[in-house]
Chains A and B, each alone.
Chain A
Amino acid sequence: MKITREELEHVAHLARLNLNEEELTRMTGQLDNILAYVAKLDELDTTGIAPTTHAFSLVNAFREDQVSPSLSQTEALVNGPKQNGEYFVVPRII
């Protein structure tokens, strides 16, 4: 499967990245090489094989829902690039 420049532009939008012309050209080629390499998985018949998402499966790790100490509002906001002491401030949405 070859990735087209248009597809890459779409994927970049999904990933919230801007790519300039030079990056689009270069990355299309590089992604093509990588996708050509991973296509070797098509050699294997995986019909009926269950996918693995975690190598060491645990059942749900439940615990009691108890209140315990956590970060204060000030601490949680301290790394905010723009904040007003109560909230993170972002460009106007509506």
Chain B
Amino acid sequence: MNPYELTVGQAADLLAAKKLSSRELVQSCLDRIEQVEPQVKAFLNIQPDQALVQADAADVRLAEGGAGSLCGVPVSIKDLICTQGTATTCGSRMLENFVPPYDATVISSLKAEGAVLIGKVAMDEFAMGSTTENCAFQTPDNPWKSGYVCGGSSGGSAASVAALECPASLGSDTGGSIRQPASLCGVVGLKPTYGRVSRYGLVAFASSLDQIGPLTRDVHDCALMMNVISGYDRLDSTSVQRDVPDYTAALREGLAGMTIGLPREYFGSGLDPEVEQATMRGVDVLKAAGAKVVDVSLPHTDYCLAVYYLIAPAEASSNLARYDGVSYGLRDLEADSLLDMYKKTRSKGFADEVKRRILIGTYALSSGYYDAYYKKASQVRTLILEDFKQVFTQCDLLISPVVPTPAWKIGEKTDDPLALYLSDVLTTPANLAGIPGISVPGGLTASGLPVGIQLQGPHFAEDRLLYAAYNLEKGLALNTVWPKL
């Protein structure tokens, strides 16, 4: 086995046992990246020299003993998480030359545990998109099938992990941006509870919905990553002061006593039969592990997407007002007045989808329309939250598909923004309710494309989610097969 094929857990064990050095592991991943990257195109910025320096430092720490849980393990980072001294572009011309003078809290946490930052990965511009086709620089290819989308907006994260370029990545999820690409690329992706992981240093898209989370090749690795990034941060006043359990401790086989809900609204029209079959295979696995499965209803599911596509653009229009050409990012230097500078800078720096969402958001918040759009959406959001509260009195977790279909061809849906928005129909509810959700690989379609299975749980039930996901993974026994590249 080549070192680049190792999972985080396997690599960490070998590193701790001194059977592998971090330099060997990181060099192996760098070689793999060099080999497959011309096709995969996941990385916007690879840092070989810096990664090897970090690997050597990790090897020193490993030799001294008492090293952190991720010591020497390479991780890729979605390019909207600030990394001190390394460009953080958000996939946008607006921030093409932005080099943050500080690290995001999750980056500080990874560094403290000895993780090696191997590079920054592609994403839809400002995380707005479902295919990474809105990245201003490049669109990754789905590692399972060339010419197909890898999903988005954390498409580079999912593609880099599925292509065995690195064992783990950090992404962000505002309406499904971790779970959706994880599903389309056949990796594990977790969106934590709102407030579980610090957002300090995460470039904001929609502040009441954004969460950082891991993408990995198995559930155990996801738990290892969550152990490192979770917890209260005084620099993010929306992070929650609550103890972080050892998420790996929850991973044991057998689900006796657990009740899993099957929400009927998630199995509506437009659901691909192979996606539905994969989910039902997951249901059988959970039953075989001892769980009880019950039918449940979340009656306002059908309204989630409409609520999301008002609230997210409204918050984005406000958050993205900061890109005015004054203190960082692009500036149009020919403008002769301040207003002209704002307008020329923003019109040049943002591409279509970002402009579209800023316009929708500005419209929904503008005088005369606020009550009809933003306030109405926020009220329906209350009904959606109540649905989840109610349903979690009947069951411990929910099982459903993640995306209604497998990956589609690059370019297939670029002309119709609304058609693309509809692919987020099963992932936006968790963001609106602030609950955790995970995508677990559920096998391949007949044409060889991955399909994910989604589990959702109540606030701060990540341990329960990972426990059930672990059983799903064990029962399906798929995670030994990776795409040929």
- Could you list which residues of chain A lie within 8 angstroms of chain B, going by C-beta atoms? 1, 3, 7-8, 11-12, 14-19, 23, 27, 30-31, 33-35, 37-42, 44, 46, 49-56, 58, 61, 63, 71, 75-76, 78-82, 88, 90-93
Contact B359 A12 (CB under 8 A): yes
Q: Which residues of chain A come closer than 8 Å to B310, judged between CB atoms?
A: 38, 41
CB distance from A84 to the nearest CB of B (A): 13
Decide yes or no whether B356 CB sits under 8 A from chain A. Answer: yes
Contact A18 B341 (CB under 8 A): no
Decide yes or no whether B227 CB sits under 8 A from chain A. Answer: no
Identity of the chain A residue whose Cβ is nearest the Cβ of B102 in the assembled complex: A71
With the chains together, A79 CA to B362 CA distance in Å?
27
With the chains together, A90 CA to B345 CA distance in Å?
12
Q: Which residues of chain B come closer than 8 Å to A35, judged between CB atoms?
A: 360, 363
CB distance from B221 to the nearest CB of A (A): 26
Contact B417 A34 (CB under 8 A): yes
CB distance from B35 to the nearest CB of A (A): 35
Contact A55 B102 (CB under 8 A): no
Beyond A17-B347, A52-B382, A91-B335, 19 extra complex contacts between A and B, CB < 8 Å: A1-B369, A8-B359, A14-B362, A15-B317, A16-B346, A34-B421, A37-B305, A37-B306, A38-B373, A41-B376, A42-B376, A46-B380, A53-B208, A58-B238, A63-B234, A80-B326, A88-B326, A90-B338, A91-B340
Decide yes or no whether B327 CB sits under 8 A from chain A. Answer: yes
Asked whether A40 and B346 contact (CB < 8 A) given A15-B358, A51-B378, the answer is no
- B332-344 Cβ-contact flags toward A at 8 Å (1 or 0): 0101111111111
Asked whether A80 and B327 contact (CB < 8 A) given A17-B359, A58-B238, the answer is yes
Decide yes or no whether B237 CB sits under 8 A from chain A. Answer: yes
With the chains together, A90 CA to B125 CA distance in Å?
26
With the chains together, A31 CA to B330 CA distance in Å?
27
9 closest A-B pairs (Cβ-Cβ)? A55-B434, A51-B378, A79-B328, A81-B331, A61-B237, A46-B379, A38-B306, A52-B381, A75-B101
Q: Which residues of chain A come closer than 8 Å to B421, judged between CB atoms?
A: 34, 37
Identity of the chain B residue whose Cβ is nearest the Cβ of A82 in the assembled complex: B331
With the chains together, A91 CA to B331 CA distance in Å?
11
Identity of the chain B residue whose Cβ is nearest the Cβ of A33 in the assembled complex: B418
CB distance from A2 to the nearest CB of B (A): 12
Contact A17 B346 (CB under 8 A): yes
Q: For chain A, what secondary structure do more than half of its interface residues adopt (helix, strand, loop), or is it mixed? A: loop
Contact B303 A44 (CB under 8 A): yes
Contact B306 A41 (CB under 8 A): yes
CB distance from A44 to the nearest CB of B (A): 6
Q: Which residues of chain B come closer than 8 Å to A46, judged between CB atoms?
A: 376, 379-380, 383
- B440-464 Cβ-contact flags toward A at 8 Å (1 or 0): 0000000000000000000100000
Asked whether A49 and B383 contact (CB < 8 A) given A27-B356, A91-B336, the answer is yes
Q: Which residues of chain B come closer than 8 Å to A61, judged between CB atoms?
A: 237-238
Q: Which residues of chain A come closer than 8 Å to B418, judged between CB atoms?
A: 30, 33-34, 37
CB distance from B341 to the nearest CB of A (A): 6
CB distance from B72 to the nearest CB of A (A): 29
Contact B366 A14 (CB under 8 A): yes
Contact B336 A11 (CB under 8 A): no
Q: Which residues of chain A come closer than 8 Å to B302, judged between CB atoms?
A: 40
Contact B101 A78 (CB under 8 A): yes
With the chains together, A8 CA to B359 CA distance in Å?
8
CB distance from A37 to the nearest CB of B (A): 6
CB distance from A24 to the nearest CB of B (A): 11
Q: Which of B237, B337, B363 meets A3, CB within 8 Å?
A: B363
Decide yes or no whether B74 CB sits under 8 A from chain A. Answer: no
With the chains together, A71 CA to B27 CA distance in Å?
34
With the chains together, A15 CA to B316 CA distance in Å?
11
With the chains together, A11 CA to B381 CA distance in Å?
25
Q: Which residues of chain A come closer than 8 Å to B99, judged between CB atoms?
A: 78-79
**23 pairs across A/B with beta carbons < 8 Å?**
A3-B363, A7-B363, A11-B363, A15-B362, A16-B339, A18-B347, A27-B355, A27-B359, A38-B309, A38-B310, A41-B303, A41-B376, A49-B383, A51-B381, A53-B378, A54-B238, A55-B208, A55-B433, A75-B101, A78-B99, A78-B101, A79-B327, A91-B336
With the chains together, A37 CA to B432 CA distance in Å?
18
With the chains together, A54 CA to B327 CA distance in Å?
29
Decide yes or no whether B133 CB sits under 8 A from chain A. Answer: no
Decide yes or no whether B15 CB sits under 8 A from chain A. Answer: no
Identity of the chain B residue whose Cβ is nearest the Cβ of A63 in the assembled complex: B234
Most A-side CB within 10 Å, residue of B101, B373, B432, B435: B101
- B414-446 Cβ-contact flags toward A at 8 Å (1 or 0): 000110010000000001111100000000000
Contact A52 B237 (CB under 8 A): no
Q: Which residues of chain B come closer than 8 Å to A54, judged between CB atoms?
A: 194, 208, 238, 434
Decide yes or no whether B281 CB sits under 8 A from chain A. Answer: no
Decide yes or no whether B193 CB sits under 8 A from chain A. Answer: yes
With the chains together, A15 CA to B292 CA distance in Å?
51
